[in-house]
């Protein structure tokens, strides 16, 4: 069975909503799709409340979004990071890098 996910930008708030699984099998596609959606946005707000499962690849995706935002001189904030992802970030020492709200 294929891992499912979706991403969409709320045009009123420029909030990128990620739903479903952020795993090794989905993050490359999520990254490709999100780049086009995030390019025109000056402040990146990414809501992960509907992420149902994540592994270390999901955390790598967040780090890549941070790197891209820094290169483009954009502010980035993550909302509602799932506990599973925060636990991986804490265990790897990356939790201090995550701009959280």
What average pLDDT score do residues 72-87 get? 93
Inter-CA distances, 101 with 20, 29, 33, Å: 20, 25, 23
Parallel, antiparallel or unpaired: strands 15-22 and 5-10: antiparallel
On the question of pLDDT at 1 being above 70, the answer is no
Q: What is the pLDDT of residue 42?
A: 87
Of the chain, the end-to-end C-alpha distance in Å amounts to: 34
Q: What is the DSSP string of 34-82?
A: HHHHHTT-SEEEEEEEEEEEE-HHHHHHHHHHHHHHHHTT-EEEEES--
pLDDT digits (tens, 9 = 90+) for 22-56: 999 999 999 999 988 888 888 989 999 999 999 99
* Mean pLDDT, the chain, whole residue set: 90
CATH architecture classification, 5-97: 2-Layer Sandwich (3.30)
Alpha carbon 68 to chain centroid distance?
Answer: 12
Q: What is the pLDDT of residue 65?
A: 95
């Amino acid at each position: 069975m294929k891992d499912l996910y979706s991403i969409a930008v709320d045009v009123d708030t420029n909030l990128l909503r990620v739903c479903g699984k952020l795993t090794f099998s989905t993050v490359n596609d999520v990254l490709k799709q999100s780049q086009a959606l995030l390019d025109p946005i000056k402040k990146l707000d990414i809501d992960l409340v509907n992420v149902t499962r994540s592994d270390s690849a999901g955390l790598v995706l967040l780090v890549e979004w941070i790197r891209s935002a820094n290169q483009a001189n954009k502010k980035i904030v993550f909302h509602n990071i799932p506990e599973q992802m925060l636990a991986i970030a804490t265990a790897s020492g990356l939790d201090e890098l995550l701009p959280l709200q």
